[in-house]
Amino acid sequence: MPRDIVFFLAPDDESAAATRDRHPTPEFQGLEFHNFDPDMAVVEWARHLEAPGRPFTGDEQKTRGEWPRYVAEYRNDGIGVFVMPDKLRAALANATRDELLGVAQRWGEFLVEIDEDELTAGERLEVVHGVATLAEDELGLYCWVW
């Protein structure tokens, strides 16, 4: 499981990819989190915002372009950078506080299902709300994962 996760804003894929070998902040505005799988989180958030009652199927999200696209692929050191899917970014940016709370709660249920529930309810809401706030910006929204 990734140890360090930074959701950050960058002007383009090339600039974001250049952070692969270094931490993206303080060069870019970002929020750092720990101890969850951001790929799976992003897919689960998208699924919940699109159809809250539907079962999770990662393959379906991947084929519809909702799975994160890496602009700097993982290497042996475990570091990679992906761009937030446009559809999810817009949904997060336009979500109400109650919708974000619902996303955080459903994400928590999913983490329990897969036995990776290391975050508290408050931490999950902090992650979802923080990423949603970044999504409101016009710059690209990326995630640096280590």
Is the pLDDT at 76 greater than 90? The verdict is no
Assign 7 a pLDDT band (cuts: 50, 70, 90): very high
Average pLDDT over every residue of 2-31: 94
User: How would you write 56-80 as a 3-class SS string?
Assistant: CCHHHHHHCCCCCEEEECCCCCCCE
- 73: closest CA among 7, 17, 30? 17
Give me the pLDDT at residue 61, please: 47
* Cβ neighbour number for residue 27 with a 10 Å cutoff: 13
Is the pLDDT at 51 greater than 80? The verdict is no
Give me the pLDDT at residue 59, please: 56
80-83 vs 69-72, strand pairing mode: antiparallel
Nearest-angstrom CA–CA distance, 105 and 121 = 7
Average pLDDT over every residue of 57-86: 79
Q: Over pLDDT 90: what percentage of the chain?
A: 78
Assign 31 a pLDDT band (cuts: 50, 70, 90): very high
Cβ atoms 20, 142 nearer than 8 A: no
Q: Over pLDDT 70: what percentage of the chain?
A: 88
* Cβ neighbour number for residue 73 with a 10 Å cutoff: 11
Average pLDDT over every residue of 28-55: 89
Average pLDDT over every residue of 26-44: 94
End-to-end CA distance of the chain: 9
Q: What is the pLDDT of residues 120-135, one digit of tens each?
A: 999 999 999 999 999 9
Q: What is the pLDDT of residues 88-128, one digit of tens each?
A: 999 999 999 999 999 999 999 999 999 998 999 999 999 99
Is the pLDDT at 141 greater than 90? The verdict is yes
Average pLDDT, the chain: 90
